[in-house]
Amino acid sequence: MIPKIAGATGCWPSILEQPLDTDIKITVKTFTFLVDRQQESLFDNVLKLEADRSYPSFKVTSDSSLYSSNVRIKDVRDIDDK
């Protein structure tokens, strides 16, 4: 399970089974994120991902930008119903 961040103006993270060929892997402590190589330049070097305790969403910011205040994770893995 790897979250992928896409699109600087509309962050729509997805949970993927595997990275795509154009993805860059970024690991911070115990978390791994993927960013498409073509979108990497749209993001600042340091991003903050903050959870909203009262709502199932996240906020993505940097020191100079607010990327989104209502980021929701979409699971796009192919999971069989068992």
Q: Give residue-wise pLDDT tens across range 9-55.
A: 445 567 777 888 988 888 888 888 888 888 888 888 888 888 878 88
User: 46: how many CB neighbours lie within 10 A of its CB?
Assistant: 10
Taking the C-alpha atoms of 1, 64, 10 and 14 in order, what is their torsion angle to the nearest 10 degrees? 0
pTM over 0.75: no
* Secondary structure class of 42 (helix, strand, coil): helix
- Spatial separation of the C-alpha atoms in residues 44 and 52, rounded to whole Å: 22
- Spatial separation of the C-alpha atoms in residues 55 and 41, rounded to whole Å: 30
